[in-house]
Amino acid sequence: MSILVLNCGSSSIKFSIYARRPTEGPELQVLCHGEYEGIGGGERHFAAADAEGNPLDTGDYGAGTDNLTHTKALDYLLAWLQDQDYMDNLEATGHRVVHGGKDFSAPVRIDSSVLKRLEALIPLAPLHQPHNLAAIRILAERYPEFLQIACFDTAFHACQAPVARRYALPRELTDAGIQRYGFHGLSYDYLSRRLRTLSPAAGNARVIIAHLGNGASMCALRGSESQATSMGFTALEGLPMGTRCGSLDPGVILYLQQSRGMKPTAISDLLYRRSGLLGVSGISNDMRTLLASGDPRAKDAIDMFVYRINRELGSLAAALGGVDALVFSGGIGEHSPVIRARVCELAGWLGLRLDPAANDRSSSRIDAKDSAVAVWVIPTNEELMIASYVNERLGQ
């Protein structure tokens, strides 16, 4: 029997199928994974690969459709899974859901009342939540017999102390749920478990994880539990990202409204889609493009990204009272020796020393022998984390 994992973004649907309890090897074994890109516009592309990464199919599913919606893309995907004989063995679907709000601090079985409560959180994660929920609705319509489990990016941080979660706002607003939640929790949970496997001592250590992808955040952990994180009420706070601004004086938003007459939707578009690396460089949100560019504006964007990571590192190290290990992950953290080297150079004040050759090879351990802080590069796997949650639930 198997589990389908779905991660529906604004323009893509990522999926994986995991076999449960295969006869040999680990408890969960990926059978295939893939991605549907170009939903809602842009170049349409469907790719799927088997466990070894061999391409299974790269056809243009949905050719001839003018507007590829999430519904259509999911229909094509479900038909493809049916063609490949995956649907008959399916027991459950695990969905990445970005925001669980105050109510959900663990994976939850989805029914209509859960769905309604998750819909109320759409304004808190406008880039992701509507698409996460659309997939749940479509699957419930087409396959009402499937168990559907929502796995939240916020849940991992629910154990944080109130002082780490509170904004300095009047109490009634905090009580109404205006507080820091934090995100990328599926990634942090996976990475902290993986770090414990690689280095059992790290289980009790003071660890900072930098998840540096198109969305980027950092998390301070002690005893593998989240103590503080850079993102807050929404996934806008903290580090500057591909297109998101990161932390910003709220006075800027008041100014844009009051003096520039900007409407909330225009401000939302500015902060979520036109800021960050893209906004500062005016060139791209893609770190590879910026690193390859000779344009000084690309350099400004990269300098700002590295500088702000170092500032956040200081803040999180203070929250932990020191740091024993730093972990890099996400597309940039896993694949860019240049960014890792620059971050580590600025982190010299922590006694952190890099092994340049190990860093260039993107080895899993990249600190020098005399470093006071262990430095790791660990690829994240949010899909496997979701499958593990669903597997645990099915085993109950």
SS3 assignment, position 140 = helix
- Residue from 332, 343, 344, 378 touching ligand ADP (CB under 6 A): that is 332
Task: Give the nearer residue to ligand ADP in terms of CB position, either 29 or 214.
Answer: 214
3-state SS of 303-365?
Answer: HHHHHHHHHHHHHHHHHHCCCCEEEEEHHHHHHCHHHHHHHHHHHHHHCCCECHHHHHCCCCE
Q: How many CB atoms lie within 10 A of CB 186?
A: 29
Under rule CB under 6 A, residue 287 binds ligand ADP:
yes
Looking at 37-45, 129-137, 283-291, 303-311, which segment touches ligand ADP (CB under 6 A)? 283-291
User: In this chain, which stretch among 24-32, 66-74, 212-220, 345-353 interacts with ligand ADP, using CB under 6 A?
Assistant: 212-220
The closest of 194, 198, 208 to 321, measured between CA atoms, is 208
Rule CB under 6 A: is residue 242 a binding residue for ligand ADP?
A: yes
CA separation for the pair 210, 215 (Å, rounded) = 11
- Name residues contacting ligand ADP, limited to 30-59 (CB under 6 A): none
Give the x-and-dash track for 292-311 against ligand ADP (CB under 6 A). Answer: --------------------
Distance of alpha carbon 378 from its chain centroid, rounded? Answer: 14
Nearer to ligand ADP, 28 or 287 (CB): 287
Question: Is 361 near ligand ADP (CB under 6 A)?
Answer: no
Number of residues located near ligand ADP, criterion CB under 6 A: 13
Please say whether the beta carbons of 298 and 277 come within 8 A.
no
Q: Based on CB atoms, which residue is closest to ligand ADP, 290 or 350?
A: 290
Q: What is the DSSP string of 104-137?
A: -SS-EE--HHHHHHHHTTGGGSTTTHHHHHHHHH
Q: Which of 336, 359, 371, 381 binds ligand ADP (CB under 6 A)?
A: 336
Residue 277 identity (one-letter amino acid): L
Question: Is 111 designated active site?
Answer: no
Q: Is 286 in the site for ligand ADP (CB under 6 A)?
A: yes
State the catalytic residue, choosing from 60, 85, 103, 153. Answer: 153
Least distance (Å) between residue 84 CB and ligand ADP: 25
Whether the Cβ atoms of residue 221 and residue 207 lie closer than 8 Å to each other? yes
Binding piece for ligand ADP, criterion CB under 6 A, among 211-219, 253-261, 359-367, 388-396 = 211-219
The answer to whether residue 240 forms part of the interface with ligand ADP (CB under 6 A) is no
- Residue number, 92 or 186, with CB nearest to ligand ADP: 186
Query: Which of the ranges 71-79, 127-135, 267-275, 326-334 carries the binding residues for ligand ADP, by CB under 6 A?
Result: 326-334
Q: How far is the CB of 158 from ligand ADP (least distance, A)?
A: 22
Q: Is 378 in the site for ligand ADP (CB under 6 A)?
A: no
Closest by CA to 334, choosing from 287, 302, 292, is 287
Measured distance CA(93)–CA(82) in Å, rounded: 15
279: phi then psi, degrees, rounded to nearest 5: -65, -45
- Judged by CB under 6 A, which of 11, 71, 105, 214 binds ligand ADP? 214
In whole angstroms, what is the distance from residue 158 CA to residue 161 CA?
8
Report the Cα 228 to chain-centroid distance in Å.
16
Question: Nearer Cβ to ligand ADP, position 139 or 287?
Answer: 287
Q: Are residues 277 and 305 in contact, defined by beta-carbon separation less than 8 angstroms?
A: yes
Determine the residue with CB nearest ligand ADP. 331
- Active site members: 153
Instruction: List residues binding ligand ADP (CB under 6 A).
Output: 213-215, 242, 286-288, 291, 330-332, 335-336
